[in-house]
Amino acid sequence: MEKQTYYISVGTRGISPIKTGSPFELEIEATDEEIRALRGTFNEIYTADVSGFIRAHIPFLGYHSDPENDTVDMELMNVYQMLYDLGKTETKQHIESMGILTNLDGENHSTF
């Protein structure tokens, strides 16, 4: 499959093939299948956000266990891993500078 350039905004969960279509932070090259996977992960984050919002309005549920936020965190890490793997050089450098894909030993979790 042929890769195409996409512009990504993690905060708004935006994916655009048009550079001027909306504000973006990261630039990747991906196939249609890879974009579907990224959209699926963004959808998982949205679903967990909605569940967390609903849960936050139930006063008798304790906050010591928060699976919705754990899901958001895990899926966000998956998003950044995908973006790193698909990213152009500037995207990879930016994600590396964030330090979110490194473990305590300083090893990068990326596949590259």
pLDDT for the residue numbered 53:
78
Query: What is the pLDDT averaged over residues 21-43?
Result: 94
Domain ranges of the chain: 32-98
Question: How far apart, in whole angstroms, are the C-alpha atoms of residue 84 and residue 110?
Answer: 7
Distances (CA, A) of 51 to 32, 38, 55, 60, 101: 29, 20, 6, 16, 26
Over residues 61-105, the pLDDT tens digits come to 666 667 777 888 899 999 999 999 999 999 999 999 999 886 534
| Global model pTM greater than 0.85 | no
Model confidence at 32: pLDDT above 90: yes
Residue 50 or residue 35, greater confidence: 35
